[in-house]
Amino acid sequence: MRKYETLFILNPSLEEDTVKANVEKFKGVIENGGGTVDNIDSWGKRKLAYEIDKVNEGYYTLINFSADSELPKELDRIFRITDGVIRHLIVRDEK
């Protein structure tokens, strides 16, 4: 199993409960796919570096996890089809 980290930004117009539900949804995708979540770091609402679709801020969340090489592909697919996700990034942790 390899170590990965994902950072995703959710739309700021979402309610707090919806943001938490999305974080739990992504955590569930990782755990149900055979991975283990090492850490979830919620950064809260922050200003974006540049405007995306007329949005200037978003809810940032960082998740560190361990999984096989197929799980990031599935997680990427889930990020793409989930409403409210402005941007996401999944990288392999080289540490």
The pLDDT tens digits along the chain (95 residues) read 899 999 999 999 999 999 999 999 999 999 999 999 999 999 999 999 999 989 999 999 999 999 999 999 999 999 999 999 999 999 998 86
Show the domains of the chain with their CATH numbers. 2-53+64-92 (3.30.70.60)
Single pTM value for the model: 0.91
Residue 58 CB: number of other CB atoms within 10 A? 25
Which residues lie below 8 Å from residue 74, measured CB to CB, with a gap of 6+?
A: 29, 33
Q: Which two tokens stand for residue 23?
A: 């974080």
